[in-house]
Amino acid sequence: MADRTIDQPRSPVLIELCLLLRDFLGDRDLDTRLDDLTDDDLYRHIAFAASLQHSGRDFTARPTPELDHIAAAVLLRLSTGSLGDTSLRSPQARYAADATPRTVQVADGPASPDKPVGALWTSSFLPNGTSMWQWGELAEFGPDRQLFTVTFDPTGSRVFTINSPSDYGRLVTRYPRSSDGRAQVCWTRAAEDLDAVHLTVPGLLTAHHVPVETPHGTATLTGWDAESTAWLHLPPHLRTTPTTR
């Protein structure tokens, strides 16, 4: 699941999750305790770990051999449940002020974060019907925006999936640009070939803030706070309805 060998830097999202789970579950019988966590609860911990990038604490990739056993247990647990499903599924969740999506017009943004300006953003639903972006939404926008259910035809979409650091490296290599000495994605070029870029839960855990060497320099994925999809074009056969819970 992860492109990692011993002594390689580990994503700070996974580091923070391991520290959180060690405090919450302890070291003993970790596999069993992780199995007892629902996917909803496990993802809530993942979302909190990702949110710590905004806390001002050290949020850099680094080797953490003392956490290897916890990280291995987490990634194994992830692979056995719905959070390990890397496909882009319909329906998706979208928070917005109104139901009608605006026209998507992608532009390249600043050096950090490496996100497409003007994209339409969606996230997947957890088994309990919660959007995977819910915690980020409340922190950034508050409770005012409506949650919509977005249905579309996934078979007609050209999707690039970021499931590991090397996936992000391939995306940068395929559509490179340089900004402030960093290698990044040229989103306007990517939009010529792709409809969407999907960051999976494993990708959020293993690729975020991890430097990747490319032919164009070092690239680092930053600023994606949750499992999410950046739509570079509107999804085919798009239908948006208010979500009632």
Tell me whether residue 7 is in a domain. no
pTM over cut 0.95:
no
Range in 8-22, 60-74, 231-245 with the lowest mean pLDDT: 231-245
Tally the domains of the chain: 2
Q: What is the pLDDT of residue 5?
A: 46
Residue 49 pLDDT class (50, 70, 90 cuts): very high
- Picking from 55, 64, 79, the residue whose alpha carbon sits closest to that of residue 18 is 64
Burial 150-186 (b: 16+ CB within 10 A, else e): bebebeebeebbbbbbbbbbebbbebbbeeeebbbbb
**For 92-150, how does the pLDDT look when each residue is reduced to its tens digit (9 = 90+)?**
999 999 888 988 999 998 766 889 999 999 999 999 999 999 998 988 888 989 999 99
Q: What is the pLDDT of residue 111?
A: 64
Same domain, 44 and 111: no
**For 159-180, how does the pLDDT look when each residue is reduced to its tens digit (9 = 90+)?**
999 999 999 999 999 999 997 7
Tell me whether residue 2 is in a domain. no
Contact 219, 17 (CB under 8 A): no
Domain residues for the domain of 222 are: 92-242
Tell me whether residue 5 is in a domain. no
Tell me whether residue 26 is in a domain. yes
**For 172-211, how does the pLDDT look when each residue is reduced to its tens digit (9 = 90+)?**
999 999 977 789 999 999 999 999 999 999 999 999 999 9
Element (H, E) at 158: none
Of 53, 84, 115, which closes a domain?
A: 84
